[in-house]
Amino acid sequence: MNDVIESKNLSYFHSFRLPTEAKQVIVLDDLSQLNSIPGQAYILGAGSNTLFLENVEFPILHVCLKGIEIHESLDFWRVDVAAGENWHELVCKLHAQGIFGFENLALIPGTVGAAPVQNIGAYGREVSDFIESVEVWDRQNQSRYTLTNDACDFSYRDSIFKQNPSRWLITSVRFNIPKKWRAEVSYGELKSLGLPVTPADILEKVIAIRTAKLPDPAIVPNAGSFFKNPLVEPSQLKQLIVRYPEMPHFTSPSGKIKLAAGWMIDYLRLKGYSIGGAGVHDKQALVLINNGSATGNDVLNLARYIQDKVNVEFGVNLEAEVRLIGGQGMISL
């Protein structure tokens, strides 16, 4: 039988801490419970990428599965991690045991089970670089599967889990980490570390950059980057760069060009701008924050205002990176 918490204040269950409620929160801490998950339940990890904008009618399934198993082979570490484990704690634990590769992904809030959903990434690394397979409960067919990395269809902040969220429940992730460590220091601020560089140097630097730029959700409620960095065609970049020669841009594996949404919002002088209790962070324009009194409407109004401004100035459409949940389910901007 699942643990059920009735009539729950959702501000404790998501890092943006909007004052909303669910009729029921169900705690999933054992695989034997999978068969009894209500069909309409919304699956939640740590709530660091989800905003509950209104009271919700459907139950919330809070994934709290725990366990880490490490196996060593000649050239690789194979690490099986249950979905409810904390991501940053995993990064630190592996680092302390001499298992390196995740340094660039330090301090990303959230759970291990949420990491593949939006293919978390930072400073030149994406979690999909290390995922061998993902264990899932298929809610459609009521059965368990192992999905290979290829089957997950990972790309920038995207995967099959993000495309079809009501179908898949991730129960654990299998990482395959080469023992031969390769530093990833191509990101601007990591280049300054110079060579040779150690995993500890990168870990320390990433923690320093994130601490300086990004608000700590335990102090200032937020959900990290609110928008995705938009992908545009090279032809559109050509036109933009004539008008905005200093605009940062990056090539992506698909051949499209990734623009920096934070730079565009900053260019429009929206850092620190607020509507009601929702604001743009004053050090990283891609992050929206809850000043303490934000409502779901404040957040939507602010996000749509930014979207409009960026569209008018640059002709680029910003999409939400976070999940926005209304009373009846997921909504888009």
Residues of this chain that bind ligand EPU (CB under 6 A):
122-123, 187, 214, 224-225, 228-229, 248, 260, 262-263, 266, 271, 284-286, 321
99 versus 322: smaller Cβ distance to ligand EPU: 322
CB of 82 to ligand EPU, least distance (A): 23
Is 144 one of the catalytic residues? no
- The token duo for 215 is 């608000």
57 versus 313: smaller Cβ distance to ligand EPU: 313
Inter-residue contact 31 to 37 (CB < 8 Å): no
171 versus 284: smaller Cβ distance to ligand EPU: 284
139 versus 210: smaller Cβ distance to ligand EPU: 210
Is 157 one of the catalytic residues? yes
SS3 67: coil
CA 100 – CA 94 distance, rounded (Å): 7
In the bound state, the residue with its beta carbon closest to ligand EPU is: 224
CB of 144 to ligand EPU, least distance (A): 29
- Distance between the two ends of the chain, CA-based, in angstroms? 37
- Candidate list 125, 157, 174, 323, residue with the active-site label: 157
Strands (E), 75-116: 76-82
156 versus 181: smaller Cβ distance to ligand EPU: 156
Alpha helices in the chain (DSSP H): 87-96, 160-163, 188-191, 199-213, 234-243, 261-267, 296-314
- Candidate list 85, 103, 225, 323, residue with the active-site label: 225
CB of 68 to ligand EPU, least distance (A): 24
CB of 228 to ligand EPU, least distance (A): 5
ω into residue 215 within 30 of 0, thus cis? no
Is 139 one of the catalytic residues? no
* 118, β-bridge pairs: none
SS3 120: coil
58 versus 187: smaller Cβ distance to ligand EPU: 187
Q: Give me the residue label for tokens 């850092």.
A: 271
CB of 101 to ligand EPU, least distance (A): 16
- Candidate list 184, 204, 319, 321, residue with the active-site label: 321
Task: Enumerate residues 6+ apart whose C-beta is below 8 A from 74.
Answer: none
Task: Enumerate residues 6+ apart whose C-beta is below 8 A from 185.
Answer: 124, 191, 193, 195, 197, 202
Q: What is the DSSP string of 212-275?
A: HHS--TTTS-EEEESBPPPEE-HHHHHHHHHH-TT--EEE-TTS-EEE-HHHHHHHTT-TT-EE
- The token duo for 92 is 């630190």
CB of 121 to ligand EPU, least distance (A): 6
What amino acid positions are annotated as catalytic residues? 157, 225, 321
